Amino acid sequence: MYKLIVANWKNNPATEEEAVNLAGKTDHENLVICPPLHFLKSVAGVVKKSPLGAQDLPESSAVELKNLGVKYVILGHSDRRSIGETNETIARKLSLALSLDFIPILCVGETWEEKQSGRKEEVLREQIKVVPSGSNIYVAYEPVWAISTSGSGQRDNPVESLETIKFLKSLVQAHFLYGGSVASKNIGDYLKYEEIEGALVGGASLMPEEILSMI
C-alpha cells in the first residue's frame, strides 16, 4: 500500500540557496516537500516530481500559494499551537483549505503534561473535531512530547501510537500519518501497520539520504 511521506522542513534550511539545493536532491514523486513559507517560490521553481506543501495557510496569501502550485497544507502543527494558535483558528484555516482544493494535513497531539494528567483523549477529541465529515484530509498524530526538541526526554511506543490512531479513526474518517521524531531507523516500526498510512518527518527530512531512504 502506498504510504505518504511528508518532509516538513520547519524553520530550516537557513538560506534560499540551501533550500533550493535540498529540494533538488530530494525531488521525488513519493515525497511531499514542505519548505518554510518564505522559500516556497524558490523551491517551486526547482521541484519537478515532488508534490509541494506549505507549513501553514496564511489566510491573506492562500490564493498565492495555490498559484505557486502548492497541493498540501500543514495545519495545527505543534509549533503553531505553542504560540497560541487555537482550534477555532485551525478550523477556519481548514475550511479555507478545503474550499480552495488543498489537501490539508491536520496535526493533533498531546503534551507530556496532558498525557500524564490523563487528559490525552480529551485533548485529541477537541483537536480533531474541527474535521468536517466527508472531507479529503490527512491527520498526523504528533505526540508533542515525543518530538526531540520538546525536552521531555520521552520516546514514543509504536504500539501505543497505533492504539491512539485507532482511537482517532473511531472519531473521524480520514487518512492517518504518524509524526514525532520519525527517522529511517524507526519509520518501519510505524508504517508496518495498515492503519498508519504515512509519516510526517521533521528534522530527518533535512538530510537527503535519510529522507529518501524512507520512501
| Angstrom distance (rounded) from CA 202 to CA 215 | 14
Q: Long-range contacts of range 92-95, CB-CB < 8 Å, 24 or more positions apart?
A: 92/59, 93/56, 93/57, 93/59, 94/130, 94/131, 94/132, 94/137, 95/132
Q: State yes or no: is 28 an active-site residue.
A: no
- Of the candidates 28, 110, 114, 142, the residue annotated as catalytic is 142
Per-residue cell: 163: 492504539
Q: State yes or no: is 77 an active-site residue.
A: yes
- Of the candidates 28, 77, 114, 197, the residue annotated as catalytic is 77
Could you tell me which of 176, 181, 178 has the C-alpha nearest to residue 202? 181
The residues that are catalytic are: 77, 142
